[in-house]
Amino acid sequence: MEKKIGVYICSGCGIGEAINVEQLASVAGENNVPVCRSHGMLCSKEGVQIIKNDMEQEGVNTIVIAACSPRVMYDVFSFDGCIVDRVNLREQVAWCQPPGDENTQMMAEDYLRMGLTKVNRMELPEPYKPDTEMSKDILVVGGGVSGLSAALAASDAGYKVTLVERSAELGGFQKSVKNIATFPYKRGLQNNPVSDLVQKVQNNENITVYTEARIESTAGGPGLFDVTILQNGSTITHKFGAIVLATGWVPYDPKQLDAKLGYGLPNVITGTEFEEMIAAGGIKRPKDGGEVRNVAFILCAGSRDPNHLPYCSTVCCIASLKQALEVKRQNPDANVFIVYREMRTPGQSEDLYRKAQEEGVIFIRCQTPEVSKGAQGLTVKGFEDLVGDEVIIDDLDLVVLATGMVPTTSFGENVLATEKKEGEEEAVPADVILRSDILNLQYRQGPEVPILKYGFPDSHFICFPYESRRTGIYLAGCVRRPMGIASALEDGAGAAMKAIQCVELVHKGMAVHPRAGDTSFPEFFMQRCTQCKRCTVECPFGAINEDEKGNPLPQPTRCRRCGVCMGACPERIISFKNYSVGMIGDMIKSINVPDEYEEKPRILVLACENDAYPALDMAGTRRMKYNPWVRVVPLRCLGSMNLIWIADALSSGIDGVVLLGCKYGDDYQCHFIRGSELANIRLSKIKETLDRLALESDRVRFETVSISDYDRLPKILDEFAERIQEIGPNPYKGF
Amino acid sequence: MSGPTNQSILVVGGGMSGMTAAIEAAEAGYEVYLVEKNPYLGGRVAQLNQYFPKLCPPYCGLEINFRRIKQNPRIHVFTLAQVESISGEEGNFEVAVLLKPRYVNEKCTCCGKCAEATTIEIDNPFNYGMDRVKAAYLPHDMAFPMRYVIDPVLLQSSEAQKVKEACPYDAIDLTMESKTIKLSVGSVVWATGWNPYDAKKLDTYGFGVYPDVITNVMMERMAANNGPTQGRIVRPSTGQPPRNVAFIQCAGSRDENHLPFCSSICCLASMKQATYVREQIPDATVYIFYIDIRATDRYEDFYLKVKKDENVVFFKGKVAKIFPSENSDQLILRVENTMTEELVEMPFDLVVLATGMEPSTSADPLPLPVAYDDYQFLPGPVVQPGIYAAGCVRSPLNVSESVQDGTSAAIRAIKSIVVRR
């Protein structure tokens, strides 16, 4: 686009007091900017009208607003069809620096220079339109409660759904459950809604069901999932827009339990086997069909145990209470014992616990119960916490072990996704992907959705529970975390919501969470590609396939637009229309670096725009002051940092570079999974180079900050500045 | 038929579940009105210091959600707004929304000159009244919408005109009045959240009488760097760090005299707060007095992590009474050790009552007759055709579950407007 730049400087909110606006405007002059104006309140109707007049009358189509943070007044400074850049003179200059000071002026001038460089180097993004037509159909894998709920929700919202179920019938585990306990829990045993759900799905013309079917392969990406379904030897292919993975769970294998729990003894069964008994007609002793007068339920059987399932399966307490009520219903005189470690009946399910107590169920709190064959029937014994002594329950007709739930995604061999290149010190952190034969993704990174702890392919994000590491694939139900029916119904509907949202956004060429609405996407200048595979390996979302020669084959609909690939590429062939290595590099080079005699160091701050940048804004809003040497460049993700920028900075004479980003590791914060971790790994590779060039490696540093760390930022930046001053000026200044 | 229609959705409540419902529906192409009672979005999660189990800041997810709202022209946010009436039926509701005056208009740049100009202070609602804030104030550091608020008390004072004139941008409008707007929507998501149970009703615990007895929500504010003590955990009586802290679980919960239900998150919240204390005050001891530790799913790992700390003691027993010590400025907790059946009296510097979550509908029911459960929660995700419930107004939920709930409510709301009756 033929650019006509207009620079608009606001002198309100203390900016006019902090800097000399006229002098700042001369920077625009130096850069031959045709239009440059200032106003005392640029965000006012009058101020905005000035800009609009220039658009109309002067043909200004590239607008640099030098005023407050881009995080505020976003609706006011929005101009269709124009390139707009926000230069932050308020929160990150006027509010954090001494007014009228020469250094404050230099800071403002540098930011304007950087803003002008940026708009010169960027273009307006054009949404990605694939060659083939996209689909809005939704694929649901798994016909249990959450899958059924997802299918119905998507269909109700107006989308065509295909539901693929491995077994012969729909209903999942709940098929074998006669009665459930759910809201309102005080009712105790209630009818299972699963058969209704199954019927609704079967009668729904917008839902195509394949039973005894599995997914043979899934290629493509959101909007373009080419899926092959295998049913009884024949294949069906269809294109889908998004996928809900709701393949549920299997019970923990009771044969793996500790012997002291007695599985294998006659009349010792699991909770799931108990359900089958109820569904088959009634509770009786498995061995001889005799009456059950005394029964004990042992909770946490093989759960909350580092040798078995370390996690808690959430619903076993509730399920066991329900089962206790089943016994009482069949035989009100039965002696029913619940042997538990902690009673976990959160929320309104506390009513069920109360009801069981009212019906005469006896509760024994014991951390390590043992089941054995007694003189008559079975015996359960253990140290009872509340009595403070050993308790023995004998003459039991039946012992029910409440075993945990294992997600179907936790089976299969590990596909090692790490690739160590020769000479590399640290391999890039790898996802754990198991060959669980669920989606069979034709993705270079592996055939399934990566799993997190304990085999759950969950989102790591508390605030965004549906965000798996594969775009357009949303997890629902017990495959993602153990949950009860009420929750599974909601979860299926929630995953369907994300699925339909994904297809709508992708059809507009837009990214999904977290850069929802972003129409930019990475483009690859393949002529200079050396097939090093860094982009394909490092992409946190597996968005880049590969051909036999190792050439990357980007799949833009899978892309979250973080730019990790851009940062990884040593040849710098990857760029977005409005975000590129060259753009940031030139912005860095446009910083005016005074020579060493002026004793004004320059520090480049590469700040993650998701946490560090807002924290800097908040520090400014609180008028916290820090040194005037810093020049902040926001990045979409620290993972998009290309090492050339460090070289650009140091060769320009900049004295230090600090990366501000989120913490990584087990409790990582990165919205793009591993951005800050990758940035750190890249940094560690250049330490040696820096030392060899007589540039102390201390000049480049990563500091972990969270978004609420605004109070620590001045100290972090000032300490770094002190260290830089200790080391001395960059020897390459003035070269 | 698939794709957006031109009917709209009303979401009542801009906390985590409401905000999520609004954003998810809008990103799928639907028009959404988001009505929030406070002057800012984020609800009670914005008032948390960290989330369990990652111990991460609420602002992190809120920043992304606010950005998603900013870039989506289909979301229309109304703050200081409450629904006065709803009539009609699924696909066709008429809603009256009362907008209370902020006395600050869209010209506000958050320069802060109004706050500088006034001397009048109010109890800071963001900090549960634990400190004072100017009567012209920004609700918190990342308030969204980013705009000041003027409390009516300032209007009635002699400083009103002075403050108005202090604003360089003519953003203060003292003549603003409440007004009612009418919205026509196809479906409604009710996501008005919860209120902390009033700890003063727990008469044996001395809340409101002894300053060193605080509630879990107050502890969260104290630990936050933008809280009343800038993040320092101290004894309110002395302003000094406590040497020992007692957390009383199920304070007024699982109790037929107060809240009979369990609020599901308090065990984990207290464990999280125990980590705050332990990190800040390395020599401090923490006692958690509990009935059952409810750390379901993989939160079990968090429980084990906190349990490993030798300075954190998990003590099974209900605290019967709290009273001041005769020999020191500490508080004495009288508790039965259920494992040994001994009655013990233990002194503490600071006591945190892990109080429960009461659904907001307890105090503010819907403006039309609907069913509630025994505890005034909305009984399920579907309240009636076209009206859906999400979040803690339905059941005590953690953040992740609230977001899940909001997301499913969004697609239910969409169903109501896609299928015309």
Mean pLDDT of A546-555: 95
Q: Kindly report which listed range (A417-426, A487-496, A528-537, B8-17) carries the lowest average pLDDT score.
A: A417-426
A506-516 pLDDT tens trace: 999 999 999 99
Q: Quick one: DSSP state of residue B259?
A: B
**A435, A415 Cβ separation under 8 angstroms:** yes
Residues of A in contact with B375 (CB under 8 A): 348
Q: Which residue of B has its CA nearest to A489?
A: B408
Q: Looking at beta carbons, which residues of chain A come within 8 Å of B418?
A: 156-158
Say which of A343, A344, A501 has its CB closest to residue B24: A501
How far apart CA B334 and CA B354 sit, in angstroms, is: 17
pLDDT category of residue B41 using cuts at 50, 70 and 90: very high
Q: What is the pLDDT of residue A193?
A: 96
Q: Scan residues 610-669 of A and list those with Cβ closer than 8 Å to B.
A: 610-611, 614, 618, 621-622, 662, 667, 669
Could you tell me what percent of chain A has a pLDDT over 90?
94
Q: State yes or no: pLDDT of A297 exceeds 60.
A: yes
* Cα gap A453→A306, rounded to integer Å: 13
B138 → chain A, closest CA residue: A621
What pLDDT sits at residue A425? 46
Contact between A8 and A51 under an 8 Å Cβ cutoff? The reply is yes
Antiparallel, parallel or unpaired: β B382-384 and B387-389: antiparallel
Q: What share of chain B is helix, strand, coil (3-state, %, to 5)?
A: 25, 30, 45
Whether residue B160 contacts residue B154, with contact meaning beta carbons closer than 8 Å, is answered with yes
Residues within 8 A of B (CB atoms), A 181-210 only? 183-184, 186
- Mean pLDDT, range A673-694, rounded to an integer: 89
Give the pLDDT band (50/70/90) at residue A269. Answer: very high
Cβ–Cβ < 8 Å for B214, B319: no
Structure confidence at residue A393 (pLDDT): 97
Q: Is the pLDDT of residue B150 over 90?
A: yes
**DSSP-assigned states of every residue in B126-163:** GGTTSSEEESEE-SSTT-SS---EE-HHHHTSTTHHHH
In this complex, the residue of A41, A153, A490 whose CB is nearest that of residue B405 is A490
Residues of chain B neighbouring A516 (CB-CB closer than 8 A): 27, 68, 71-72
Q: Which of residues 124-143 of A touch B (CB under 8 A)?
A: 136
- Residues 6 or more apart from A26 whose CB is under 8 A from it? none
Please tell me whether residue A21 adopts helix, strand or coil conformation. helix
pLDDT-derived band of residue B420, with 50, 70 and 90 as boundaries?
low
In chain A, what residues touch B56 (CB-CB under 8 Å)?
462, 667, 669, 706
β-pairing verdict for B31-35 and A335-340? unpaired
Contact A469, A452 (CB under 8 A): no
* Tokens found for residue B156: 């009635």
Q: How many CB atoms lie within 10 A of CB A84?
A: 18
C-alpha dist (Å) from residue B161 to A429, A531, B166: 60, 69, 9
Q: How confident is the model at residue A640 (pLDDT cuts 50, 70, 90)?
A: very high
**pLDDT for A191 beyond 80:** yes
DSSP code per residue over B100-117: PP-SB-TT-----HHHHH
A80 vs chain B: nearest CA distance in angstroms? 13
**Mean pLDDT, chain B, integer:** 96
User: What does the block give as tokens for A178?
Assistant: 């006669």
| Model pTM score | 0.96
A38 contacts: CB under 8 Å, gap ≥ 6: A8, A9, A10, A11, A21, A22, A25
**B300 to A671: CB separation less than 8 angstroms, yes or no:** no
Cα B35–chain centre separation: 16
Percent of chain B with pLDDT over 90: 95
Shortest Cα distance from B25 to chain A (angstroms)? Answer: 8
Using CB atoms, which residue from B63, B381, B399 is nearest to A614?
B63
Does A153 sit within 8 Å of B415, measured CB to CB?
yes
Residue pair A508/A159 in contact by the 8 Å Cβ criterion: no
Q: Indicate yes or no: CB of A12 within 8 angstroms of CB of B418.
A: no
Q: Which pLDDT belongs to residue A258?
A: 97
Phi and psi angles of residue B117, each rounded to the nearest 5 degrees, phi first: -80, -15
| Chain A closest-CA separation from residue B414 CA (Å) | 6
The answer to whether residues B272 and B310 touch, using CB atoms and an 8 Å cutoff, is no
- pLDDT of res. A689: 83
Supply the Cα-derived Rg of chain B in whole angstroms.
23
DSSP run (H or E) holding B65: helix B58-70
Q: How far is CA A398 from the centre of its chain?
A: 45
Q: Give the least confident one: A46-60, B215-229, B326-340.
A: B326-340
Token pair 């009420």: residue:
A486
Predicted pLDDT at A429: 79
pLDDT at B296 over 50: yes
pLDDT tens-digit profile of A61-104? 999 999 999 999 999 999 999 999 999 999 999 999 999 999 99
Work out whether the CA dihedral A276, A281, A282, A284 comes out positive or negative.
negative
Higher-pLDDT residue of B342 and B297 is: B297
For position A427, what pLDDT does the model report?
67
Q: Of B13, B407, B106, B121, whose CA–CA distance to A464 is shortest? A: B407
Q: How many CB atoms lie within 10 A of CB B115?
A: 18
Q: Where are the alpha helices (DSSP H) in A540-597?
A: 564-568, 581-589
Quick one: average pLDDT of A522-549?
96
Return mean pLDDT, chain A: 95
pLDDT in tens, A560-570: 999 999 999 99
Per-residue pLDDT at A735 exceeds 90: no
Q: Tell me what the mean pLDDT of segment A128-149 comes to.
A: 97
Question: Per this entry, what is the length of chain B?
Answer: 421
- Give the count of beta carbons closer than 10 Å to the beta carbon of residue A414: 12
Distance of alpha carbon A305 from alpha carbon A301, whole angstroms? 9
- Least confident range from A415-419, B45-49, B53-57, B253-257: namely A415-419
- B379 and A183 in contact by Cβ < 8 A? yes
Q: Cα dihedral sign for A138, A143, A146, A151?
A: positive
For residue B248 the two structure tokens come to 């009383």
User: CB of B376 within 8 A of CB of B362?
Assistant: yes
Can you say whether the dihedral through the CA atoms of B267, B273, B277, B280 is positive or negative? positive
Chain A residues whose CB is inside 8 A of the B224 CB are 708
Flag whether pLDDT at A388 surpasses 90.
no
Cβ atoms of B244 and B286 closer than 8 Å:
yes
Cis peptide bond prior to A514, omega within 30° of 0: yes
Distance CA(A500)–CA(A504), nearest Å, equals 6
DSSP track, A518-544: -----EE-GGG-----HHHHH-TT--E
Q: Report pLDDT for A733.
A: 87
pLDDT at B1: 42
Secondary structure class of A411 (helix, strand, coil): coil
Interface touch B404/A610, C-beta < 8 Å: no
Please give the residue of chain B at the shortest CA–CA distance from A347.
Answer: B262
Phi then psi for B361, rounded to 5 degrees?
Answer: -70, -10
Mean pLDDT, residues A166-192 taken together: 96
Per CB-CB distance under 8 Å, the chain B contacts of A618 are 141-142
How many CA atoms does the CB half-sphere of A472 hold within 13 Å? Answer: 34
Q: Is the dihedral of CA A712, B302, B317, A183 positive or negative?
A: positive
How much is the pLDDT for A428? 75
**Alpha-carbon torsion B273, B279, B284, B286, what sign?**
positive
Q: Is the pLDDT of residue A326 over 60?
A: yes
Cross-chain residue pair B110–A504, CB shorter than 8 Å = no
Mutate to test the interface with A, among B51, B63, B254 (most CBs of A within 10 A): B63
Task: Report pLDDT for B421.
Answer: 35
Q: How far is B110 from chain A (nearest CA, A)?
A: 8
pLDDT at B337: 83
Identify which of A14, A136, A153 has the shortest CB distance to residue B2: A136
